[in-house]
Amino acid sequence: MQLGIVGLGRMGGNIARRLMREGHHTVVHDRNGPAIDTLVAEGAKGANDLAALVQQLDKPRAVWVMLPAGEPTEQTIAQLADLLEPDDVIIDGGNTFYKDDIRRAQHLAERQLHYVDVGTSGGVWGLERGYCMMIGGEQAIFERLEPLFATLAPGEGDIPRTRGRSGPSERAEKGYIHAGPPGAGHYVKMVHNGIEYGLMQAYAEGFDILKTKASESLPVDQRFDLNLTEIAEVWRRGSVVTSWLLDLTADALVADPQLGSYSGSVSDSGEGRWTIDAAVEQAVPVPVLSSALFARFRSRQQQGTYGDKLLSAMRFGFGGHVEKSE
Amino acid sequence: MQLGIVGLGRMGGNIARRLMREGHHTVVHDRNGPAIDTLVAEGAKGANDLAALVQQLDKPRAVWVMLPAGEPTEQTIAQLADLLEPDDVIIDGGNTFYKDDIRRAQHLAERQLHYVDVGTSGGVWGLERGYCMMIGGEQAIFERLEPLFATLAPGEGDIPRTRGRSGPSERAEKGYIHAGPPGAGHYVKMVHNGIEYGLMQAYAEGFDILKTKASESLPVDQRFDLNLTEIAEVWRRGSVVTSWLLDLTADALVADPQLGSYSGSVSDSGEGRWTIDAAVEQAVPVPVLSSALFARFRSRQQQGTYGDKLLSAMRFGFGGHVEKSE
Amino acid sequence: MQLGIVGLGRMGGNIARRLMREGHHTVVHDRNGPAIDTLVAEGAKGANDLAALVQQLDKPRAVWVMLPAGEPTEQTIAQLADLLEPDDVIIDGGNTFYKDDIRRAQHLAERQLHYVDVGTSGGVWGLERGYCMMIGGEQAIFERLEPLFATLAPGEGDIPRTRGRSGPSERAEKGYIHAGPPGAGHYVKMVHNGIEYGLMQAYAEGFDILKTKASESLPVDQRFDLNLTEIAEVWRRGSVVTSWLLDLTADALVADPQLGSYSGSVSDSGEGRWTIDAAVEQAVPVPVLSSALFARFRSRQQQGTYGDKLLSAMRFGFGGHVEKSE
Amino acid sequence: MQLGIVGLGRMGGNIARRLMREGHHTVVHDRNGPAIDTLVAEGAKGANDLAALVQQLDKPRAVWVMLPAGEPTEQTIAQLADLLEPDDVIIDGGNTFYKDDIRRAQHLAERQLHYVDVGTSGGVWGLERGYCMMIGGEQAIFERLEPLFATLAPGEGDIPRTRGRSGPSERAEKGYIHAGPPGAGHYVKMVHNGIEYGLMQAYAEGFDILKTKASESLPVDQRFDLNLTEIAEVWRRGSVVTSWLLDLTADALVADPQLGSYSGSVSDSGEGRWTIDAAVEQAVPVPVLSSALFARFRSRQQQGTYGDKLLSAMRFGFGGHVEKSE
């Protein structure tokens, strides 16, 4: 098949590569010229602007926008909408808020354009491992584009089949699903990231306990001289907490058990926040997912917060307690 | 009545003063001589050691130990136990873990000594406002000592009576209760402090939101130039969040709206921790009380935690994300 | 002064009453005729529709809308906007989301109408105690309406003055503040409610621990036969956790220590949810405020949640654990 | 090697089997006679009581106690201590609190007996997959027993090697580690379980959000008809949240997407609680791990809690709010 791709960063570029490897054709654009050149050297057709990109695609066209969520994606889709023709498809592969997907799909539908949202996990490993994709959009359009998704997805690989499944592999077993109408793809991806935050924080807290127990500031008779690198490794072997995130933890600890190259200032992205907003909107208690997000917020405030200062002020007020430095 | 008091810090000294004001007699000891002299000048009898203190008391004796919880209290009680005689009473007015009370009471009972645990709130304000007391011990011993408790307590004051109460005031309305057998006093005080942590953190988070909304780092059109001092004050006037802790917040914000004299490193004491342990033991979910304790733990780690570094390491592992400084 | 009031429920009706007591004039409307009649009998002028209400007011007019947030308020304000004339003021006294205030104020400004948002705490007690008010709007309009606010507010009363304050009382000390531009009033009220949830949950958890410790299902030697009614009462007397919410707790426990008339299904309102959304938007960690909201969500799910079932399914999967009934 | 095994439940029996498959010799005892017979039929030597078991073992002996933590284990170890001779080893393979391990090891050392604690993950799957083991004890004794551990462990299997590791496999890569002195094995296992709770709750909350979004109680235009079975499956394929727990989730959802055979009453075990106690003792903030534990506590209270009732009582008190049934 043929696909237009706008945005040739790490994700967009590798999507083009993985498609071309399997014989698909791509027409690519990026506002950064050399990024286009690189892909052209690998077999893509280049386009210096969106109009040129649209012109080089056969109808009905499909254009994959792989840009940062928010303004860059919003503006590009608006421009494409003016250039495309009825029955063409715009695919948003970024980290868009699902309510924006719904709004866009409705606007584009008025022009007889189709909108597909693709939530993708597996980021930098996608070229090698394939992309895990959760896709929102009309059923017919999803099916029209399915050869692309099938190529981008990891496929069955050597992952043991889920107990109780039989017969030919379903899409999910190949690594992509049609999650529902526009917005559903990014909705599922959003919750995926919410879970991801929770999983990561669970490991972080556990290793923090282990690290503290090994701390030289503890009296010798209360201390265990634990080897965190070995603990992460052994848990990869038949324990209940086995996971890819644990594998990455084991990698990091082999490289440096002190994790000395990190300051511990942890960013968060839209999905983690939107997951909490969605849970609040749906009245679902999410103490773990919210705690994980808040831990990241807190990690970026290396100074005492105003709230913490207020605690100290109250303690001074009722008990005359003076802050200790620890 | 007559009372021996061991430990003449802020609490012990003021307990002696409040008792003497109302005509009670005290025999006082502290390992710091001048502290004894000060009280003697105010009418107390001084004792240079525990033996002298015991000797000056009429039988059956009552000795109030007002020392830091843990070793200082433990040792003093052990020494007193050797000096006292059957039917004498040891009162622990400190912040002792209630299981230690139970253990001690059992040991002392073998020697026919009585043990009373008094949980006290209102610390530095006690001389002026009176002490709110939660008392554990045998019923008969509690009643024997009740004249002391009645003097130390705030009394009815001008606090509006609770709806539905009638007839003569009960003990609780005067500011002290017999909570139950030995340990029950400190148990109730422990939970009191757990609640206190939760209340404080609720205000801290709320004021943190307000402060952040007024932050100059926000775009002008998203900012409200809120006056936190006025907000604290107005909430004291008929709002649902009216409380003594809010009064103290209002005091602190009048003194300095930036709370600039505080670093935000917040200590915690045994009770806050034991409350969580008790909840875990009793299988009671306490997300708010535990969150409040953890916020204090976190406030003291001004550097990135190991757990936070691990989050960054995982993010680098799966997404190539590099830490940003914020 | 003169004020139009739309919505004569408990809040709207009592606002009219408190104003009239002090000599203000009101023109009142409600879609429920008898509610109008009642107020007319107490001295108000009645209006059968919004047009009649507007007609009976002198320019520049002020109309206080006291209706449920959302559609009822939105529609009424839209209708009033069509009836009012330049320099008139619409006051929203309900529980509106502050971003809706900002939007409305901008729309109304295009018609030279003013918008004032009043966050009110103290609900059903307002007639007696006065209303604690946080007010957003233009400075000049706030001042124009100030005689109304001053009447509705509690006034200084006999609340001890905040330490460090001197000179004549400021507005906040009388129970109302000008919090900032449109939206600021409801923003501050929103955070107030967020704090309120946190405070309430702190007490709830603490009393849950006490209740569980007194449970007959515990072995006798681990149980304390605690009297929660007395504990709530004694904490009102000089303890650190003294508050109006504790007073209400004491009321409730005198009436029925088992709280047997309640099922424990706890509602939440917009403000509690918006506080979390605001904190997430502003990157402020709010573990206590969010835990309090989630506890309410959970309280309404008397059946096992899907998430809980999934936990059981996983436990069965890795350990063969079968659910126990407890 | 030769090993005595006491306790032939699922774990103990399969440990015997896995050892015998590789040529080790076992002497087995259980208070349930037929359990002994079964193992004898598979090649073990049977012992009708502890004395007989000790008698059949060559010196220095090693006896693996595989019983429920607490009294059963405690008593058995006490009895064995009386039967064994200097240099013999007692292995506790159960879920013992690590401070109990430390205490026991000290007591046994006075009799020149050795104590080894083995934390084991992978429970019911151990016979097939091998046991992931975290082992505490003296270095020399660990090494003496290492042939047993090496047999019980999973071995390298086909798990990809951790990046940065080279040379011959280390113990951790084969699925067992010497974590440290007595108690260290169970300490690491305890934290493992704490993490496990956090991971599980992260998935539970995420799937709860997804489930709620698909709820028929939502208005159609806010609903996504999500297929949770397919979502769990696709996340197994290259996503960041890939894990064994997700595999088990996928299994369960294939069997019944409604999870209808579960009530959602979720048990917890000692380790999950002790992890929180340890974190509190070590002043490590663990909002996720504690939230996960509290969610289990709450899952077992199908009726409204006392705390929830108190919330309703307060709401009635300040706002006249009456509980709604939902």
pLDDT in tens, C122-173: 767 788 889 999 999 999 999 999 999 999 999 999 999 999 999 999 999 9
Using CB atoms and an 8 Å cut-off, which of residues 132-171 of chain D contact chain A? 132-134, 153-154, 157, 159-160, 162-165, 170-171
In terms of C-beta density within 10 A (0-12 exposed, 13-18 middle, 19 or more buried), how is residue D324 classed? exposed
Q: What is the mean pLDDT of residues C96-101?
A: 97
Cβ of residue A213 closer than 8 Å to a chain B Cβ: no
State chain A's mean pLDDT as an integer.
Answer: 95
Could you give the CA distance from residue D250 to residue A202 in angstroms, rounded to a whole number?
21
Average predicted confidence (pLDDT) for chain B: 95
Whether the CB of A318 is below 8 Å from some CB of chain B: the reply is yes
Enter the tokens of residue C146: 């100030």
d(CA B209, CA B214): 9
Q: How far is D29 from chain A (nearest CA, A)?
A: 27
Q: Is the peptide bond before B147 cis (omega within 30 degrees of 0)?
A: no
B70: left (phi over 0), alpha (psi -120 to 50) or beta: left
Instruction: State what percent of residues in chain B have pLDDT above 70.
Output: 99
Query: Which pLDDT score is estimated for C49?
Result: 97
Instruction: For residues C50 and C203, give the distance between their C-alpha atoms in angstroms, rounded to a whole number.
Output: 44
Q: Which site among D205, D247, D266 would you substitute to test the A interface, given the most A Cβ atoms closer than 10 Å to its Cβ?
A: D205
Cα distance between residue C104 and residue C84, in whole Å = 15
Beta bridge partners of D65: D6, D92
CB C173 within 8 A of CB D268: no
A103 by Cβ neighbours in 10 Å (0-12 / 13-18 / 19+) ranks as middle
Rounded distance between C-alpha atoms, residue D22 and residue C105, angstroms: 80
Instruction: Calculate how close chain C gets to A275, using CA atoms only, in Å.
Output: 10
pLDDT at D326 over 80: no
Of A123, A267, A299, the CB nearest to B304: A299
C-alpha to C-alpha distances, C64 to A71, C90, C103, C116, nearest whole angstrom: 39, 6, 18, 9
Asked whether the beta carbons of residue A321 and residue B267 sit closer than 8 angstroms, the reply is yes
Active site residue D213: no
Mean pLDDT of B155-161: 93
Of the candidates A87, A297, A313, the residue with the CA atom closest to the CA atom of residue B266: A313
Contact check, Cβ <8 Å, B288/C205: yes
DSSP state of A216: T
* Per-residue confidence band for D304, with pLDDT thresholds at 50, 70 and 90: confident
Q: Is D297 on the interface with B (CB under 8 A)?
A: yes
Q: Which of C154, C209, C244 sits opposite B191 (nearest CB)?
A: C209
Of A126-130, A226-230, B273-277, the one with minimum mean pLDDT is A126-130
Instruction: Give the tens place of pLDDT for each residue, D85-126.
Output: 999 999 999 999 999 999 999 999 999 999 999 999 876 778
User: Which residue in chain C has the smallest CA separation from D123?
Assistant: C319
Angstrom distances, CA of residue C324 to CA of A221, C312, D10, D262: 39, 10, 19, 10
Is residue D231 pLDDT above 80, yes or no? yes
Q: The pTM is what?
A: 0.96
For D259, the closest of C252, C291, C309 (CB atoms) is C309
Q: Per the structure block, which two tokens stand in for B126?
A: 């006690």
What are the residues facing C136 on neighbouring strands? C117, C180
Contact C35, C58 (CB under 8 A): no
Burial of A118 (0-12, 13-18, 19+ CB in 10 A): buried
Residues 231-250 in C contacting B (C-alpha not used; CB under 8 Å): 231, 233-247, 250
The answer to whether C314 contacts D287, with C-beta atoms less than 8 Å apart, is no
Q: Is the pLDDT of residue C98 over 80?
A: yes
Would you call B295 and D276 a contact, using CB atoms and an 8 Å cutoff? no
Cα C209 vs. chain centroid, distance in angstroms?
28
A45 residue type, one letter: K
Q: What share of chain C is helix, strand, coil (3-state, %, to 5)?
A: 50, 10, 35
Q: Could you say which residues from 175 to 204 on chain D have a Cβ atom under 8 Å away from some Cβ of chain A?
A: 175-177, 179-181, 183-184, 187-188, 191-192, 194-199, 201-203
Please state the ipTM of this predicted complex.
0.96
Best of C171, C286, C288 to substitute, by most chain B Cβ atoms within 10 angstroms, is C288
Share of chain B above pLDDT 90, in %: 91
Which residue of D133, D202, D226 is in closest CB contact with A180? D226
Measured between beta carbons, which residues in chain A are less than 8 angstroms from residue C298? 285
CA distance B126 to D15: 63
Range 70-129 of B in CB contact (< 8 A) with C: 121-123, 125-126, 129
Q: Please tell me the total number of residues recorded for chain D in this structure.
A: 326
| CB contact at 8 A, B275 and B268 | no
Which positions 255-294 of C are in contact with D (Cβ < 8 Å)? 259, 262-267, 287, 291
Q: Least CA distance to D198: which residue of chain C?
A: C311
Look up residue D286 and give its two tokens.
Answer: 């663990």
Q: Which amino acid, residue B279? A: A
Contacts of B308 in chain D (CB under 8 A): none
Residue type at C312 in one-letter notation: S
* Residue C323 pLDDT grade (very low, low, confident, very high; cuts 50, 70, 90): confident
Q: Give phi and psi for B278, each to the nearest 5.
A: -65, -40
Contact present, A6 and A49 (Cβ < 8 Å): no
Instruction: Find out whether D207 and C307 touch, Cβ atoms under 8 Å.
Output: yes
CB-CB contact of D204 with C309 (8 Å) = no
Contacts of B217 (CB under 8 A, 6+ apart): none
- Nearest CA to C234 out of B96, B184, B293 is that of B184
Alpha carbons D56 and D46: distance in angstroms, whole number? 9
Among B322, B215, C281, B317, which residue's Cα sits nearest to residue A270?
Answer: C281
Give A107-112 contacts, CB < 8 A, sequence gap 24+.
Answer: A107/A81, A108/A77, A108/A81, A111/A81, A111/A86, A112/A86, A112/A87
Measured between alpha carbons, how far is C5 from C65 in angstroms, rounded to an integer? 6
pLDDT digits (tens, 9 = 90+) for D271-297: 999 999 999 999 999 999 999 999 999
Strand partners, B123: none
Q: Residue B326, class by beta-carbon neighbours within 10 Å (0-12 exposed, 13-18 middle, 19+ buried)?
A: exposed
pLDDT score at A326: 46
What 3-state DSSP class applies to B241? coil
Detail the DSSP E strand segments found in chain B. 2-6, 25-29, 45-46, 62-65, 89-92, 114-121, 132-136, 176-180
Which region among B122-126, B227-231, C59-63, D27-31 has the lowest average model confidence (pLDDT)?
B122-126
Predicted confidence (pLDDT) at residue A124 exceeds the cutoff of 80: no
d(CA B322, CA B324): 6
In the block, residue with structure tokens 């990046």: D163
Please write the tens of the pLDDT for every residue from D156-207. 999 999 999 999 999 999 999 999 999 999 999 999 999 999 999 999 999 9
Segment D197-225, tens digit of pLDDT: 999 999 999 999 999 999 998 999 999 99
Q: Give bridge partners of residue B117 from the DSSP assignment.
A: B92, B136
Angstroms from D279 CA to nearest CA on chain B? 10
Dihedral angle computed from the Cα positions of residues D43, D45, D47 and D53, in that order, rounded to the nearest 10 degrees? -130
Q: What token pair was written down for D26?
A: 């076992």
Determine the Cα–Cα distance for residues A21 and A231; give it in Å rounded to an integer.
Answer: 40
Residue B196 to residues B189, C246, D168: CA-CA distances in angstroms?
Answer: 10, 12, 56
Residue in C with minimal Cα distance to A291:
C287
Instruction: Pick the residue of C275, C294, C306, C315 with the most A CBs within 10 A to test the interface with A by mutation.
Output: C294
C-alpha to C-alpha distances, C267 to C95, C204, C259, D297, D322, nearest whole angstrom: 15, 15, 17, 21, 9
Provide the total of helices (H) and of strands (E) in chain B, helices listed first.
Answer: 14, 8
Residue A224 · residue D180 · CB < 8 Å: yes
CB D50 within 8 A of CB D6: yes
**Predicted pLDDT at B326:** 46
Cα–Cα distance for residue pair D312/D326, rounded to 1 Å: 14
**Helix/strand/coil (H/E/C) assignment for every residue in chain D:** CEEEEECCCHHHHHHHHHHHHCCCEEEEECCCHHHHHHHHHCCCEECCCHHHHHHHCCCCCEEEECCCCCHHHHHHHHHHHHHCCCCCEEEECCCCCHHHHHHHHHHHHHCCCEEEEEEEECHHHHHHHCCEEEEECCHHHHHHHHHHHHHHCCCCCCCCCCCCCCCCCCHHHHCEEEEECCCHHHHHHHHHHHHHHHHHHHHHHHHHHHHHHCCCCCCHHHCCCCCHHHHHHHHCCCCCCCEHHHHHHHHHHHHCCCCCCCCCCCCCCHHHHHHHHHHHHHCCCCHHHHHHHHHHHHHCCCCCCHHHHHHHHHHHHHHCCCCCCC
Residues in chain C: 326
Contact B191 C181 (CB under 8 A): no
